[in-house]
């Protein structure tokens, strides 16, 4: 057994101790201030990240550091209430390790959410953007150093890194619930400093619609392990230089709170549609 398999087994064993009745089908990673959706799930069992071997712990306000298993519309789900970031000092392999654990736990679909800055001038604060693609500007890749191709391939195709059918499903749910959804490309920067106005001009010119400091590493690994991926960005602020004002993390959390009802309605609607697929 490889060292990778041993680590995964230890992590799974600690999670299964809380009493997992049904294997989760869908995983969610909840970004800054977006943990509210976790309150909607039934039959909840939870475990702190600190109790799971090899799991990092988030040091960012708005991240609860809790793994939750439960169900909604009879669909078994697992939720990461809080995530980890490159700017916290973690390696990308550590940041994305939980995605590998969720895959082995049973999921085949993952919804990754984030708080992002709006680069597209047609966006406004409070918009929800369905990710169609990404630009990795973090200066690193979570698959760097991956050598065990007997488990998962080293070289993966990212042409459809964000599942097209899931994008259409989200649009259907948005239309049904009268939620206007933006679609666009998410650029990932290493952080933690916010981008400069000059960097935002660059991002706009290379095709980015939103910018943040997460999601891309998890999406890459999710594709490597064969998961269907959906990305949802909450536009919590317009990026530097677009509006003549400074940026701060408090603004991100406040915008998340204001948009939470819309966010919850969208994610619940998506999960309701996914539940039909698994019946």
- Which residues are known catalytic residues? 32, 63, 85, 87-88, 115, 213-214, 237, 249
Q: Pull the structure tokens for residue 272.
A: 């309701």
248 contact partners, CB below 8 Å, separation of at least 6: none
E runs forming strands in 177-267:
181-188, 210-212, 228-238
Sign of CA dihedral 163, 230, 277, 264: negative
What does the alpha-carbon distance between residue 21 and residue 9 come to, in Å, rounded to a whole number?
18
Three-state SS for 153? Answer: coil
Which element (helix H / strand E) includes 45?
strand 42-48
Q: What angle do CA 224, 226, 229 make, to 5 degrees?
A: 95
């Amino acid at each position: 057994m490889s060292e990778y398999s041993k680590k995964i087994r230890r992590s799974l064993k600690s999670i299964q101790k809380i009493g997992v009745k049904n294997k989760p089908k869908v995983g969610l990673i909840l970004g800054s201030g977006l943990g509210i959706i976790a309150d909607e799930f039934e039959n909840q069992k939870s475990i702190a990240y600190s109790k799971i071997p090899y799991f990092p712990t988030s040091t960012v306000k708005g991240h609860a550091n809790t793994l939750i298993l439960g169900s909604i519309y009879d669909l078994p789900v697992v939720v990461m209430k809080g995530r980890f970031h490159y700017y916290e000092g973690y390696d990308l392999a550590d940041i994305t390790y939980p995605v590998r654990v969720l895959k082995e736990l049973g999921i085949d679909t993952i919804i990754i959410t984030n708080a992002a800055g709006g680069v597209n001038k047609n966006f406004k604060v409070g918009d929800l953007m369905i990710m169609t693609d990404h630009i990795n500007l973090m200066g690193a890749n979570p698959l760097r150093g991956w050598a065990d191709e007997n488990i998962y391939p080293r070289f993966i195709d990212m042409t459809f890194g964000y599942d097209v059918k899931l994008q259409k499903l989200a649009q259907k749910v948005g239309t049904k619930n009268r939620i206007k959804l933006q679609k666009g490309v998410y650029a990932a920067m290493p952080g933690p400093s916010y981008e400069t106005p000059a960097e935002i001009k660059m991002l706009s010119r290379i095709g980015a619609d939103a910018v943040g400091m997460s999601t891309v590493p998890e999406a890459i690994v999710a594709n490597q392990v064969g998961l269907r991926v959906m990305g949802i960005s909450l536009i919590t602020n317009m990026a530097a230089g677009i509006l003549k004002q400074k940026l701060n993390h408090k603004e991100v959390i406040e915008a998340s709170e204001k948009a939470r009802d819309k966010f919850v309605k969208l994610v619940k609607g998506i999960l309701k549609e996914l539940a039909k697929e698994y019946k």
